[in-house]
């Protein structure tokens, strides 16, 4: 699914993500097809992590390496050996277990001891003068809260002043969901291996991962031939969806978009969505809203056509429009419900957001031509569950909404998810400054504007989320995250919908 992305763009991160079980199968296939051993991959992983540590912490000379009783610990033994051989003072603390280490991890441990390294038990004190901690405690197979002594080691590492480099994933973080149900390592850097894992990109991941790096361990060419279950998206991919316009194209070619919303007191939502659609390149934008907002919206943005929302204006708009966006500032009055009901005869692309989703939750129906953009609260109402249930497994939740209601689902949040009938992507963009009113309205306008320009539903959702997050990242980088306004994105949106086509 994502091979064409990898061929066109280089990145320190993989453009694909695999759940934990799929990663294990991927490793086994790579070993079988390429004539490698799992220990060779472990050696490569340890070397990649050692090089990353030297890159970001070049002056550190006293490392504390924490090793669990699994292959993640085996990676830690390799890092420790390489560090010791380079003259770094290494203290290695390992978790004791009644069972034998996995074969590859045992090889790595033997090599560490053979190189003169010592192993201290899990009850040993951490050296106060350690200036870097390597986390090799728990890997991607964790699916419950860490038990003792792992939990205590994690808490001690977090309390230590030294920065932490996590191997593959911060110990305690769920590799599939990004959930933290117990003690979790707070890493400054995470070096993952072969491919990204969804739990590094969504859920609570950003609270723990720090700066994420990926090393394919020499498997890049082989990985390009694989069909990844999840795509990781960033701004470097925008020109795969957004192409130069024909020199003779005109506004009609760029789509006729109608936005419906803005009940009393909520003109800002529909105005932001409308301007975002224009900034994204929609040719003609018409807004149907409450009568008291018509004049202010025309004054604020004269490029929009603005009319009172009535039965007659909706009927005319449905005949005129190529795409409908409904929801920003809509409310849940009879006025809003009538507008939603009128869309039942619209057989072209639509985007439903905000209160349109809340009304849909009360009267669900299936539509394959619709993009749904819920935040976790709206998603919970669509599935009749709690927000905690949604956040427990965001990929599963978005998939369930898609299966129930059809079309494409955009589950917003840190690591926004885009899900269609047979594709899943994670937008690896955005920042905490986006947690402010109006951001969702701007996203709806961007996706609507791209739909108007005839991008397929899934492509418009993916490109729109990347444009939205990348624009916010640019503004946050320039001015900081606090105080970031939804309307600040307008100046940056234009740059990202016009990517470098060279």
Shared domain for 155 and 113, answered yes or no, is: yes
What is the residue whose two structure tokens read 């072209």?
348
Distances (CA, A) of 223 to 24, 30, 300: 14, 9, 50
Contact 407, 370 (CB under 8 A): yes
Based on the fold, state whether residues 246 and 114 are members of the same structural domain. no
Query: Number of folded domains in the chain?
Result: 2
**1 found inside a domain:** no
Q: Which of 195, 228, 261 is the last residue of a domain?
A: 228
Mind listing the pLDDT tens digit of every residue in the chain (502 residues)? Answer: 333 333 333 346 889 999 999 999 999 999 999 999 999 999 999 999 999 999 999 999 999 999 999 999 999 999 999 999 999 999 999 999 989 999 999 999 999 999 999 999 999 999 999 999 999 999 999 999 999 999 999 999 999 999 999 999 999 999 999 999 999 999 999 999 999 999 999 999 999 999 999 999 999 999 999 999 999 999 999 999 999 999 999 999 999 999 999 999 999 999 999 999 999 999 999 999 999 999 999 999 999 999 999 999 999 999 999 999 999 999 999 999 999 999 988 999 999 999 999 999 999 999 999 999 999 999 999 999 999 999 999 999 999 999 999 999 999 999 999 999 999 999 999 999 999 999 999 999 999 999 999 999 999 999 999 999 999 999 999 999 999 999 999 999 999 999 987 5
138 in Cβ contact with 70 (< 8 Å): yes
Residues 241 and 148 in one domain: no
Q: Is the residue at 3 inside a domain? A: no
Domain holding 428, by residue range, is 237-496
Residues 215, 247, single domain; the answer is no
**The predicted structure's pLDDT at residue 10:** 34
User: In this structure, are 376 and 420 located in the same domain?
Assistant: yes
Answer whether 270's CB lies under 8 Å from 287's CB.
yes
Instruction: Report the first-to-last Cα separation within the chain, whole angstroms.
Output: 24
Q: Are 23 and 197 in contact (CB under 8 A)?
A: yes
Q: Are residues 151 and 102 in the same domain?
A: yes
In a domain, 67, yes or no: yes
**Residues 194, 252: one domain?**
no
CATH code, domain carrying 450: 3.40.1190.20
Q: How far is CA 168 from the centre of its chain?
A: 17
**What single-letter DSSP state applies at residue 130?**
-
Domain end residue (candidates: 202, 228, 254): 228
Q: Please choose, from the candidates 482, 502, 426, 464, the residue with its C-alpha nearest in 3D space to the C-alpha of residue 279.
A: 464
Beta-bridged to residue 370, according to DSSP, are 350
Assign 259 to helix, strand or coil.
strand
> Is 2 inside a domain boundary?
no
- 32-67 CB burial, b ≥16 within 10 A, e <16: eeeebebbebbbbbbbbbbebbeebbeebebbbbbb
In a domain? residue 502: no
Question: Which residues, 6+ apart, have CB-to-CB distance to 110 below 8 Å?
Answer: none
Backbone φ and ψ for 409, nearest 5 degrees, come out as -115, 130
Same domain, 220 and 243: no
Question: Looking at residue 106, which CATH number applies to its domain?
Answer: 3.40.50.10260
> What are the phi and psi torsion angles at 280 (to 5°)?
-85, -5
Same domain, 80 and 192: yes
Question: Which one of 228, 263, 297 terminates a domain?
Answer: 228
Same domain, 147 and 258: no
205 and 260 belong to one structural domain: no
Strand, coil or helix: what is 474? helix
5 within a domain of the structure (yes/no) = no
CA distances from 451 to 118, 345, 448, 463 (A): 61, 19, 5, 10
What is the C-alpha separation between 289 and 308, in angstroms, rounded? 5
Q: Domain for residue 317, yes or no?
A: yes
261 and 342 assigned to the same domain:
yes
Q: How far is CA 122 from CA 50, 67, 108, 148, 358, in A?
A: 22, 9, 18, 10, 51
Q: Does any domain span residue 424?
A: yes
| 2-8 contact pairs (CB < 8 A, 24+) | 2/228, 2/231, 2/232, 3/224, 3/225, 3/226, 3/227, 3/228, 4/240, 5/231, 5/237, 5/240, 6/220, 6/223, 6/224, 7/224, 8/237, 8/240
The per-residue pLDDT for 500 is 85
Looking at residue 502, its pLDDT comes to: 54
């Amino acid at each position: 699914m994502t091979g064409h992305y990898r061929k066109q763009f280089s990145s320190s991160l993989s453009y694909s993500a695999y759940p934990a079980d799929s990663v294990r199968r991927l490793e086994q296939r790579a070993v079988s097809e390429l004539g490698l051993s799992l220990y060779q991959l472990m050696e490569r992983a340890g070397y990649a992590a050692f090089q990353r540590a030297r890159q970001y912490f070049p002056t550190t000379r006293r490392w504390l390496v924490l090793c669990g009783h699994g292959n993640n610990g085996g990676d830690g033994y390799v890092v420790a050996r390489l560090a010791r051989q380079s003259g770094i003072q290494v203290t290695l603390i390992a978790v004791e277990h009644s069972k034998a280490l996995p074969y590859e991890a045992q090889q790595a441990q033997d090599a560490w001891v053979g190189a003169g390294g010592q192993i201290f038990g899990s009850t040993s004190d951490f050296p106060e003068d350690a200036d870097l901690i390597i986390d090799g405690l728990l890997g991607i197979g964790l699916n419950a809260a860490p038990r003792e002594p792992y939990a205590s080691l994690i808490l001690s590492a977090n309390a230590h002043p030294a920065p932490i480099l996590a191997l593959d994933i911060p110990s305690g973080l769920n590799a599939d969901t990004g959930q933290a149900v117990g003690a979790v390592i707070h890493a400054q850097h995470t070096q993952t291996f072969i491919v990204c894992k969804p739990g590094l990109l969504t859920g609570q991941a950003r609270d723990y991962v720090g700066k994420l790096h990926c090393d394919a361990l020499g498997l890049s060419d082989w990985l390009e031939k694989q069909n990844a279950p999840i795509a990781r998206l960033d701004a470097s991919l925008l020109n795969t969806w957004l192409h130069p316009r024909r020199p003779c194209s005109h506004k009609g070619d760029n789509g006729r978009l109608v936005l419906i919303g803005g009940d009393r007191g909520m003109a800002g939502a529909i105005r932001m969505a409308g301007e975002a659609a224009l900034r994204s390149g929609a040719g003609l934008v018409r807004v149907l809203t409450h009568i008291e907002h018509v004049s202010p919206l025309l004054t604020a943005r004269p490029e929009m056509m603005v009319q009172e929302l009535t039965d007659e204006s909706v009927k005319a708009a449905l005949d005129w429009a190529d795409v409908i966006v409904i929801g920003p500032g809509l409310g849940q009055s009879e006025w809003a419900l009538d507008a939603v009901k009128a869309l039942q005869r619209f057989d072209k692309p639509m985007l439903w957001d905000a209160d349109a989703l809340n009304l849909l939750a009360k009267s669900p129906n299936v539509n394959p031509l619709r993009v749904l953009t819920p935040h976790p609260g709206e998603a919970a109402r669509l599935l009749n569950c709690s927000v905690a249930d949604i956040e427990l497994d965001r990929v599963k939740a978005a998939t369930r909404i898609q299966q129930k209601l059809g079309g494409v689902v955009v589950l917003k949040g840190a690591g926004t998810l885009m899900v269609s009938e047979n594709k899943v992507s994670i937008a690896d963009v955005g920042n905490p400054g986006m947690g402010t009113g109006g951001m969702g309205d701007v996203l709806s306008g961007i996706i609507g504007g791209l739909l108007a320009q005839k991008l397929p539903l899934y492509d418009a959702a993916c490109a729109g989320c990347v444009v939205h997050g990348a624009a916010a990242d640019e503004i946050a980088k320039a001015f900081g995250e606090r105080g970031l306004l939804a309307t600040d994105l307008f100046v940056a949106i234009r740059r990202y919908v016009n990517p470098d086509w060279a």
